[in-house]
Structure 1
Amino acid sequence: MIVLGLTGSIGMGKSTTAKLFAEAGVPVYDADAAVHRLYEGEAAPAIEAAFPGTTANGKVDRNKLSARVVHDPAAMKRLEQIVHPMVGAARQKFLNAARQSGAPVAVIDVPLLFETGGEKRVDAVVVVTTTAEIQRQRILARPNMTDEKLGAILARQMPDAEKRKRAHFVVDTSHGLEPVRARIQDILAKAAKMQPRRS
């Protein structure tokens, strides 16, 4: 089974691209959704212990937690040390299930794939991109998004040009869904001929 790492900066259309992979019959692991599930249960006690007052009723209050860690690299690192091993275990479970189902290709959707060294755990990387103008419009249209918040998020992400340079495949979402669907078919055809490179 070939494992594709799907990544892209905020507002590039990665979630939509992940949905289109799923629509094409590919098992897709969503790292953000996995974190959401952990925040609603398993990870909450450890996060409350590290950041008192950031949970309620056994669930993490994402806004409170975000306010606590977004401008504090040391706090962010502490949070990652709690969450990353749990996410890793969930990802492994997903891959084992995909392999058992006989899927030729599986996709792991990870926003900070390069930033966390995740490209070493996949056979090829798919980077989703668009123009800087479209990216900005999409992000600022989100609820509760400000220029300052956007700046803080982008500061944690590797620049788009660098991601595209390191990608095996690039998907441009600037021109609507149909070109993206066509590109996904093209990527799946090429992936089917690849040899796994993970050790």
Structure 2
Amino acid sequence: MITIGLTGSIGMGKSTVAAMFADQGVPVFDADAAVHRLQGPGGALIPAIEAAFPGTTGPDGVDRARLGAAVFGNDAAMQRLEAIVHPAVGAERAAFLEANAVAPLVVFDIPLLFETGGEQRVDKIVVVSAAHDVQRDRVLARPGQSPDRFAAILARQTPDSEKRARADFVIATDVPIEETRSAVDAVIACLLRSRGE
């Protein structure tokens, strides 16, 4: 099995590219989706998050706005939250690998791959990238986003230029979608060839 770390800064189109891998039959582990499950209604992490950050959970799980307000811009609080979340996501990741043990390729969709040292746990790295103005427009079109919030998020992420330099493959999303799809297909073909398939 070849494990692929799929990453890209906010607004780069990573979810779209992950869906393209899935469409081609490559199993995809979505770290964000795992977090949403763990923090959703009845989620396994709700008690620990409520204990660490009182008033940030309810019947619908984590109140993302309240939890965000409690940790955003506070490194110690963010580290406390990550210490709760990361081990649980690691367990989900292990279960995913076990369930897909016979797959030739699997994708780990990890937004903060480099920031968390995740590049050491995958065989190949695919970075999704777009021009800065395209990225900015996409992010600012999202509900609740502002230029200041966008800047703060970028400040916590490894710069796009560095991600591209450290990637095995770069997939552009500021091109016609069929070009992006062709690039995904080319990555899959290249990696299967490297396995002799």
Query: How would you bin the TM-score normalised by the shorter chain?
Result: over 0.9
CA distance in 2, matches of 1:97, 1:183: 27
State the one-letter code of the partner of 1:115.
Answer: E
CA distance in 2, matches of 1:174, 1:96: 35
CA distance in 2, matches of 1:176, 1:146: 27
State the one-letter code of the partner of 2:96.
Answer: F
> What SS is found at the alignment partner of 1:112?
coil
Which residue of structure 1 aligns with residue 56 of structure 2? Answer: 54
Question: Equivalent of 1:82, from 81, 84, 108?
Answer: 84
Alignment identity in percent?
57
Which residue of structure 2 aligns with residue 7 of structure 1? Answer: 7
State the one-letter code of the partner of 1:8.
Answer: G
Contact preservation (8 Å) 1:2, 1:105? yes
CA RMSD, Structure 1 to Structure 2 (Å)? 1.0
Which residue of structure 1 aligns with residue 164 of structure 2? Answer: 164
1:103-182 aligned at under 5 Å gives the runs 103-182=103-182
State the one-letter code of the partner of 2:90.
Answer: G
> What SS is found at the alignment partner of 1:163?
helix
Which residue of structure 2 aligns with residue 93 of structure 1? Answer: 95
TM-score by length of 1: 0.95
TM-score by length of 2: 0.96
CA distance in 2, matches of 1:96, 1:180: 30
Report the alpha carbon displacement of residue 58 of structure 1 after superposing the two structures with TM.
6.4
State the one-letter code of the partner of 2:191.
Answer: A
Which residue of structure 2 aligns with residue 192 of structure 1? Answer: 192
CA distance in 1, matches of 2:177, 2:105: 21
| 5+ long unaligned stretches in structure 2 | none
Report the alpha carbon displacement of residue 171 of structure 1 after superposing the two structures with TM.
0.2
Report the alpha carbon displacement of residue 57 of structure 1 after superposing the two structures with TM.
1.8
| 5+ long unaligned stretches in structure 1 | none
Report the alpha carbon displacement of residue 193 of structure 1 after superposing the two structures with TM.
3.4
**1:46-105 CA-partner distances (Å, limit 9, x unpaired):** 000000000012611111000110110110000000000000000111111111xx2110
> What SS is found at the alignment partner of 1:193?
helix
Runs of 4+ in 1 over 6 A off after TM superposition: none
